[in-house]
Structures are given as structure tokens and as C-alpha cells.
């Protein structure tokens, strides 16, 4: 059964037509990667300096074009990816390239098939927005890097950006994946040559839509000023910069009503207890988060 495309999306699709040239065969992808490698991998190597004696890992190597480009400029290069078809194409390209200091390996479960301290640097382009288990990814990268080694990366667009759906050949309408949802985008994808796929979440299409656990308070802060209603969110085990970033907040469980405390110290003790209860609730319901594309 053909999936329907909303009329509004149909009309916007005429104003922002897709880019058919972005739909490439595996061999064409390798060539495309080789062309863009001068900018992407070239910038990484320039930052590393003298690269002639370096062993390099291309994390998320795709169809191998960038890895082959790098291999011609370093002591050795290895590409790794979770996509078996991409690795097969990369190996085919390697076989006809004349390059002898390069190999490609599959990492289907996110664990890297290399010994500890195998590489001087890990390079990665447009990969981390697709990685489902980021803690495992960084743990494995740190393991295979030699002491003093470097991770150099650029990636995007992220999920909540105008083209965060990553299907440029199927839909170029800005924010379409957020405005119309996953089913509408998948419908355009299938209409324009994509193989029919049974998908239930954006993760099934390879987008991690990174999210975090935490505890939230919504109320008037009666202990301090009893002002306008305010939503405050505390993310667990988080050390990144979030100023001027947009977050979606999903409420999973209720802990308690808002209360006024006699002192700030008493409030802090209660907040610590709230955090403990929130962690327990989230641990007891690991699949409670709404599916991406289904929020709202």
C-alpha cells in the first residue's frame, strides 16, 4: 500500500524541489567522497601536520572514497563502518585503486575490531549524528587511539535543523521531517526510488536524534519568588554547552507536587531526592521516551 503524502507537503515540495543528483549508486558515492575529501580530510591532515608516519582510522568511512584519499598521504589508513554494503563497495574500490596501505573493516555492533592503541588519529565526517550508542563510540575510539592521539570530526546536519532528515534526494522542504512527521517523509522517499522499508522510528532510518535523561520542575518557585510559571530541566551526567540550543522535553513520570521550603538547603535536599526517584523511574521504563517524529 502506497503511503499518502499530505497536500501541504506536496505544494511545498514544488517550491523546494528535491535534489535527484544526491541519489547515487554505491560506486558513485565512492567517487563523490573522493572529490570532497580534499576539503574534509584535507583539513584534518593539515591540522595534524606531518602525516607521513601516521596510522589513521576513518570512523564511519561509508563507501571508502575519503579513506582511499587519506591512505595516499599517510603511513596506513583503515576505514570502519556499520554498513556491510558500504564496506563491500569500499573493498571493491580498494581492489582497483592500486593502494596497498589501506583496509576496510565492518563494525556491526559499534565495537571496533582493532587492538588497543592502534591509531595515531581518528578522522570522521558526517557520522556522529547517525551513531546510536555515543558513549560506546567514544569509549571505543579512546581505546584504539595511541597516547596523545587525536579525534578530528565534523558532522551534520543535526536532527532538529532544516534538513535534519538527511534525505536530500527525496525531500528538500525545510523542517519537513519535524512538521509532517516520519510517515510523510518515508512516503516521498519511496515515491522517488527508495526501497520500501518497514520503519517505526527515525532511528530505523539511521538518525539518532540524540536525547538525555533528567528531571524537570514546572511551577512558580514558591520558595523564592512565586513568579510566573517556569520549566526548569536538569540533565543527568551532562557536561556539554546548551545555551541557545533548542530541546524537546518529554514527561515520563510524576514525582510530587510543588512545595515551599523553609530554606534553600531544604530545597536542595529535596531536589537530590527528586533526582534519585527520577533515575529510578527512568531505569524502570527504558522504552518510555516517545518515538522521534511522534512527539507533539
> What is the structure's pLDDT at 179?
86
Smallest Cα–Cα separation from 261: which of 250, 251, 252, 274?
274
Question: Please, which residues have CB within 8 angstroms of residue 36's CB and are 6 or more apart in sequence?
Answer: 65, 66
Smallest Cα–Cα separation from 292: which of 202, 165, 207, 160?
202
Smallest Cα–Cα separation from 167: which of 155, 176, 84?
176
Cα 211 to its chain centre, rounded Å, is 10
Residue 33: its H or E element? helix 26-36
Q: How confident is the model at residue 290 (pLDDT cuts 50, 70, 90)?
A: low
Percent of the chain whose predicted confidence (pLDDT) is above 70: 85
Mean pLDDT of the 244-258 span? 76
Q: How confident is the model at residue 293 (pLDDT cuts 50, 70, 90)?
A: very low
More confident site: 148 or 238: 148
Q: How confident is the model at residue 229 (pLDDT cuts 50, 70, 90)?
A: confident
Cα 230 to its chain centre, rounded Å, is 30
> What is the structure's pLDDT at 200?
67
> What is the structure's pLDDT at 3?
67
Q: Is the pLDDT of residue 281 over 70?
A: yes
Question: Please, which residues have CB within 8 angstroms of residue 243's CB and are 6 or more apart in sequence?
Answer: none
Give tens-digit pLDDT for 21-73.
777 888 888 998 999 999 999 999 999 999 999 999 999 999 999 999 999 99
Q: Is the pLDDT of residue 291 over 80?
A: no
The one-character DSSP state at 265 is H
Mean pLDDT is highest, among 59-63, 210-214, 238-242, for: 59-63
- Residue pair 252/289 in contact by the 8 Å Cβ criterion: yes
> What is the structure's pLDDT at 233?
85
Give tens-digit pLDDT for 109-119.
889 999 999 99
Listed in order, the ranges of the chain carrying CATH 3.40.50.150 are 26-154
Q: Is the pLDDT of residue 159 over 80?
A: no
Is pTM beyond 0.75? Reply is: no
> What is the structure's pLDDT at 165?
80
Q: How confident is the model at residue 243 (pLDDT cuts 50, 70, 90)?
A: low
Rounded CA gap, 105 and 78, in Å? 8
Rounded CA gap, 294 and 296, in Å? 6
Longest dimension (CA), the chain: 75
Q: Is the pLDDT of residue 237 over 80?
A: no
Least confident stretch, 101-110, 142-151, 227-236: 227-236
N residues, the chain: 296
Q: Is the pLDDT of residue 199 over 70?
A: no
How far the first Cα of the chain sits from its last, in Å, is 26
> What is the structure's pLDDT at 295?
41
> What is the structure's pLDDT at 210?
62
CATH no. for 26-154: 3.40.50.150
Q: Is the pLDDT of residue 18 over 60?
A: yes
- Residue pair 209/182 in contact by the 8 Å Cβ criterion: no
Amino acid at each position: 500500500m502506497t503511503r499518502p503524502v499530505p497536500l501541504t507537503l506536496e505544494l511545498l515540495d514544488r517550491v523546494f524541489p528535491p535534489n535527484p543528483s544526491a541519489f547515487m549508486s554505491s560506486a558513485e558515492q565512492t567517487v563523490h567522497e573522493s572529490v570532497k575529501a580534499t576539503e574534509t580530510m584535507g583539513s584534518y591532515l593539515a591540522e595534524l601536520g606531518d602525516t607521513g608516519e601516521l596510522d589513521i582510522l576513518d570512523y564511519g568511512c561509508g563507501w571508502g572514497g575519503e579513506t582511499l584519499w587519506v591512505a595516499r598521504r599517510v603511513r596506513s589508513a583503515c576505514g570502519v563502518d556499520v554498513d556491510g554494503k558500504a564496506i563491500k563497495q569500499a573493498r571493491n574500490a580498494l581492489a582497483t585503486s592500486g593502494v596497498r596501505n589501506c583496509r576496510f573493516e565492518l563494525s556491526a555492533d559499534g565495537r571496533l575490531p582493532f587492538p588497543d592503541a592502534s591509531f595515531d588519529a581518528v578522522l570522521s565526517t558526517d557520522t556522529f549524528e547517525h551513531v546510536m550508542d555515543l558513549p560506546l563510540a567514544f569509549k571505543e575510539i579512546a581505546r584504539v587511539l595511541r597516547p596523545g592521539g587525536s579525534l578530528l570530526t565534523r558532522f551534520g546536519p543535526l536532527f532538529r535543523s532544516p534538513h535534519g532528515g538527511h534525505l536530500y534526494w527525496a525531500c528538500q522542504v525545510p523542517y519537513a521531517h519535524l512538521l509532517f512527521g516520519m510517515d510523510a517523509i518515508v512516503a516521498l522517499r519511496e515515491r522517488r526510488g527508495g526501497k520500501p522499508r518497514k520503519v517505526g522510528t527515525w532511528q530505523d532510518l539511521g538518525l539518532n536524534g540524540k536525547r538525555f535523561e533528567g528531571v524537570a520542575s514546572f511551577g512558580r518557585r514558591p520558595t523564592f519568588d512565586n513568579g510566573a510559571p517556569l520549566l526548569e530541566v536538569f540533565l543527568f551526567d551532562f557536561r556539554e554547552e546548551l545555551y541557545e540550543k533548542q530541546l524537546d522535553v518529554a514527561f515520563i513520570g510524576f514525582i510530587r507536587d510543588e512545595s515551599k521550603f523553609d530554606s534553600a538547603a531544604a530545597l536542595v535536599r529535596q531536589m537530590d531526592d527528586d533526582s534519585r526517584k527520577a533515575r529510578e523511574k527512568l531505569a524502570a521504563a527504558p522504552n518510555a521516551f516517545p518515538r522521534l517524529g511522534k512527539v507533539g
